[in-house]
Structure formats: structure tokens, C-alpha cells
Structure 1
Amino acid sequence: MLRPELNNYLYDQQLEHEGTMGWGSLLWVVNQLLPHLIGIVGQINVSSAACVHEFSRLFWRLCRTFGKIFTNTKVKPQFQEILRLSEESVDATDGNDVLTKGTVPIYVIGVLTCYNQEEDRKLLVAFLEDVMMSLSLSHAPLDSLKMAFMELGANPAYHELLLTVLWYGVVHTSALVRCTAARMFELLVKGVSESLIAQRVAPALIALSDDPEISVRISTIPAFGTIMETVTQKELLERVKMQLASFLEDPQYQDQHSLHIEIIRTFGRVGPNAEPRFRDEFVLPHLHKLALGNNGQTAEAKRMDIAMQLFEAYSALSCCFISEDVLVNHFLPGLRCLRVDMEQFSSEYEDILSSMIKECEQKVENRNSQEPQGSMSIAASLVSEDTKTKFLSKVGQLTTSGAMLANVFQRKK
């Protein structure tokens, strides 16, 4: 009986010099099984995370079982033929549709990470760079790339590799690719170490925040917000805070509607988990200013957009503990400004805001004569359960579909 090492050697020699000729079962795997599996993968929606995960495991085990030579000569070429990362696919107006499916994350996790030599890592980097460029230039959804990043980002061994890929995007000549790089940084912030954020992520984002294209600068906001939500280093937090303050206070951004939408959306997302001082001294005062400014917005569609984002942000922040001083000076005035907008667009939401404001004011007036209630949230100590339920249920309805928003914000007759 041949030793296992000799068997493996003969197997590799067969694949290198004779391929699958005369080997019926292996020929079936290459010509029947692989194309069929890859065809199925090309139909998987990226949102089906369980399917993507299980098929990634299947391909990883298949590649490990049949070996590196088989993977390089039989599996990778078939994926590469399907993915067709070429100049032609980049120039296509609708992009390469298969790039938006489960093929990308399954190929990355199930095939390209099976072996971890330098040549394998270089191929992985090159593939991710090509996908980022192709999706960006063809204006295609980024979900497939995001899933690949999230899967790889769960393993610290790939953090440097992913940062290398993103730096390729940071210095790319196309603003579309730079926008994608800025948004992809948000996915890494929660997984990488604070030292990497300070040394690699923050400098890249700050460079992008000074980009000639305003769209690139706006794309950095979610990542900056996630840093404020997750990092504890005071120096780094101060740098990020200064950058966000620049977006909010620099006169050049005064009429940048898209920037204000992104800022408000980010504040609503990260505010509840951010450091309380940052929330009280930065987030809520600036939301108040944005709400006040929106009252004077003459473009109805823009005013509606900002009001909607403010409504969602205030609904998220209403569940935080807010000091009485900040409540009186910023939270309540912001709600009052938002109510002015709702008077124009939706009596239903105006009523909810009016109820919240009234009960907050009553609680504040009566607080001096009441026993201390401890560190209770606004939702618990300032707003009745009935009002809170109606308020949050409306937010849930709003986020279910974009079509519903249009119906909600019809001008009152």
C-alpha cells in the first residue's frame, strides 16, 4: 500500500501533467458538479446570509479536500470566468450582475481563503480591489462586497489585508471608488483594534474628508460616527469630533442638503450608544440647530426629508438619559422646531410631538417638587407609556418602506 504522502504526490502530478484525463469521477466533479454549484451560487441573494455562509463552508471543504493544485487549476478558473472582472464589465452601465449576488462573498470566503500563502493573499487583495472598482464604477449595490468584508473582518488575521484594499480605494482616481472606500471603513471600525483605528483608519478618513469631491466627504460621515460610538481614546475622539464640527459649522456646507441628511441619520444611529458627554454637548445641540434651520427651508421636498430624519433621530435619542439642562435648552426646543415642520406635512405626527412636548414640559415644571427619580431615561421619566408607544410605533411604520413615507408626508388640506 502506498504511503499517504506518495498518494498525494501522485495525485498532484496527475492534476499538473495529465489533468482529469482518464479519471471519470474527477472529470464529473470538474465538468458537472462545480459548474452546477457555481450556477446555484450565482442565484443566491446576498441578504440570505445563512445560504451564503453554508455555501462558503461547502466550497472551503471541497477545496481543502481536493487540494491546492485542484483549487488553483479547476475551481478558481471557473469562478473567474463567471465573475468576468474585465474592462468591459467595468464599462457596462448596469454592471456585472453576478458581482451583486452571493458569488463574491462565497468565492472570497470559500475559495480564496482556503490557503494562506503570500501568493494566495495577493490574489485575495487583487480580487477585492477589482470588485470594489467594478461595483463602484457601474453604480451597482455594494452588499456583496460588504458581506465579504464583514466575514473577513471577523478574523483579526485579515484586518491589515482589508486596510490595504481600502487604501487602494482611498487613493483611486475615481471619486466613485473613493466614496465606496469611505463607506467600507464603517464596517471595519467595530472589529479592528483602537490602535489600528488611530494609525490607519482615522488618517485615511481624514484624508477623504478633505477630498475635492463633496460626495466623498459626505461618505466619511457614517464611519466617523461609528468611531464616536465605539472608541474610548480621548485624543482620537477629539479629532473625529473636530471633523464632524467642521461639517456642521463650516459655511461651505451650509446648503449641503445631502450632508445634513447623512449627519442626522448618523446621529440617530450612534447617539444612543455614544459617550453621554458627546451626546449632550455635541449631538443634541447640533440637532437643535438643524431643526431650527429646517423651519426656514423654502424647498418643500428638502424640508420634508430633514424633518423625517430628525423624527427618527429624536425617536432613537428619546430613550437615552438626558440631563435637565440639555433637555430644556436643546431637546425640547428641537422637538418644538420639528413640530413646526410637521404642522405643514402631517397632523398625525404633529399630535404625537405635541403630546411629547407637553408631558416633558409638565415633568420639568414639577420636578423641583417631586422626589428624586434617579437616572431614568427620557422615555421612562418624561413621557407617558402611551405617548412613547405611539411615537415609536410610528417610527417603525416609517422605516418599513419608502413608498409609505410619501403617503405620510402629504400636505395637510
Structure 2
Amino acid sequence: MTYDPAAEVVQLCSDLIRLDTTNFGDESGPGERKAAEHVAALLDEVGIDVEVYESEPGRTSLVGRWGGNVGEPVLLHGHLDVVPANAADWTVDPFSGEVKDVDPGGLCVWGRGAVDMKDFDAMLLSTVRARARAGAVPERPLVLCFTADEEAGGAKGAGFLAREHRDLIDDCTVAIGEVGGFSTTVRGRRLYLIEAAEKGMAWVRLTAKGTAGHGSMRQPDNAVTKLANAVARIGAHQWPVRLTPTMEVLLASVAELAGTEATPENAESLVEEFGDASRMLGAVIRNSANPTMLEAGYKVNVVPGEATARIDGRFLPGFEDEFWDTLAALAGPDTTISKDVHMGALETGYDGDVVAAMTSSILAEDPEAIVAPYLMSGGTDAKYWDDLGMKCFGFAPLRLPEDLDFTALFHGVDERVPVDSLEFGARVFDRFLGAL
């Protein structure tokens, strides 16, 4: 039985990028309907039935089942929406799906979603379609899930499925999705990072109240001043290093290459070993709270009675209480904190047969590599699956050129993924399905 799991992956990725699924976080985007129908047709063509589900008109997700009946079902999930792109900033049309050579990166598929996450959608589809055509059905039952709205928190996609259609996925014990399995190079060795944890998300509103009045007079009870002081304290705060079990394993792997041991004291220097990837990893050894928005007043000569700020807070698994206590102390008694969005952190034990399958599938294609877990600074649909009791991992395998600043491409200008990396990912993911 022979088949090529990578045969279609580049074309599938380009085709998905050309379907504009921009999510502006409001009702103004095109939605995911066209992409969902496209994916449903691709699966139907090889005999895999799926159903589409809409939380609102155009906000479309789809779910299907495939595979055998040995063991507990595994959820394979990808989202269909992408963040906005300003075409004027790009080298190519961000929705062209163009295949173009560039240095660094080599021959790449370009476009919004190439990295986040139509690359993984394409890998999954290419592998499943090749296996279905060849009759190479995995023994383990698989739930194939493509969601809407992940880029705005997932409430209209994964959240909707978890709330309203839980029966479709409730028997899954493991979920495999995005932002993991990509390589970075440390001291000449490729190290593949499998996501096993995510920081929690706390988007909060800070409000200060004062006495409104004329801007020309003394106004000691000034809401803007109170807010500015609180925001300055929060923005300048140096959060202490905290190592979760996932990061202890990752940093131990790097420390071994560096000929030392991982400790909280040298954690930052070990993170710097990752080069450009330290942009992401430097954010996951401590809690964080970044002021991002300010709003006050309506005229320059009027002191407003209220001023507000928005804070993007992220907390480590196991350190949420410390986050809230510290934030309250920094905000002080002159401001109040309210939660706009709150999603918990997650951390999955890095063990078991699925971890073994991910590791062996990478090493079969890249025998000299190191495979280790990491904690991601952002959030994914995994938060919803974690709430349903699933073990969650990010595993979209990509062998990347050492000189490609991959983490900068997430939501970035000229987002692109190397063709060789896509094809490598499809081969690895095929081995993974066979090893489950």
C-alpha cells in the first residue's frame, strides 16, 4: 500500500488562503462558510461525511468522524478564520496563496493564514485524503473538527460546539491542534516544540473615577491622573520568574546542550538560546500584564469624571491567584478592575501513547532532532477542549530553516510557510496517525 501524504498539501494550503475568512472580532467579516463548504467537499470526495454547524449566519464550523474503533477517539482540530491583513503592507496579495521564492525561507506559500493556521488544516486534509484513497484507515477513531472564530476567542466556534453540540466530541480524550511541532535551532541542534500548556487570558478593564470640571482650575481628584499612575505601575512591573512543569522539561533539554542545569535563576539566559523564538518563549516564564488601550475625556478643557484602560493579562498555569493579587496591588485603591474576557490556563502531562506517537513520528523524519514540550504565550481552541477533560497538545509539525524568524510570522506582515516544511509536516502527521 503506497500513497503520498504530502502530494496535495501545498495546493490545499494555497486554496484555503485564497478563501478570505478574515475575523475582525465583530460582525463585519466574511465568515467561514465558504471555507467550511470547501473543506466539507474535500472530505466528501474521499468518502468522509461531515456536518456543518453555525452559531450565527456565516460563522461556520464542521465536524466529522473517521477511522477505526480501537481505543478512545482523538480530536484533530483546526480553525478556519484568520486575523486581518492590510494589503498595502505586504509584498504579495495576502489572500493570493502565491508560491514564491524568498530568502530567508526558500520556496514558500504566502498569505494570511499560512502559519496561523491554514498550514495545519492543509496538512491534516492532505494526509487524511491520501489515506482514505489508499484505504489506510487509522485504527483509532478520529474526530475531524474545523472551527470558526478562534481568532476572536472562539465563542462562536469551538465554544459553540462545546456548549451546544457537546455530544459530537464528548467521548474524545485527546485533542491535537495548532502552534506546536515546529522546529527551532539551539546550538546547532533542531529542537521541535510540542505545545503542552497555554497561559490563561485575562483581558481586563481598569477604571478610575474623579471629579469632572474645568481644565483651567485646580482638579486634584483627577481620574486621568489616577489611571495614568496605575497604568504606569502595571506596565513597569517586573514579574518574577515562575517555571511550570512543562517549561522545566524544555529548559532542562536546552541546559543539557549548554552543559549546565536549568534553574529559575538562569531561565532567562536559557530562553535566549532559542534566538528569535525567545520572543515567544520569553513570555512563558512569568505572568504578564500589558496596557494596550486608554480612553478618557471628550474635550481638552474638560477634566473627565472617568478614565479607562485595557490590560492584556496572561497568567501561567498554577499562578493565577498570584496574577490577580499582584494586579490588584499595582492598580491601587483609586481604580477598579473588571474582567472583559477570562479564560483559564491549561497544562497537560507530557506522557502517554499520544506523546510517544508525536515524538516517534518526528524522529522518523529527523533522527538527530530533540523533541520537547513548551508552554505557549497565546491561547487556542484547546481551552474549550481542556474544559471538557481532554488532554491537549499543539502538533503542527514543521521543519524550518534556521534563519527563518518563524514566530514573527504569526499575525505578521508577509506571513508565509516554506513548501519543504509543509511537505515534511504532512509526512510526519501521516506517521503520527499510523502510530496512534
Instruction: Indicate whether the TM-score tops 0.5.
Output: no
Using the size of structure 2 for normalisation, the TM-score is 0.26
Could you say which structure has the higher helix fraction? 1
Q: Which has the higher contact order (CA 8 A, sep 6+)?
A: 2
Using the size of structure 1 for normalisation, the TM-score is 0.27
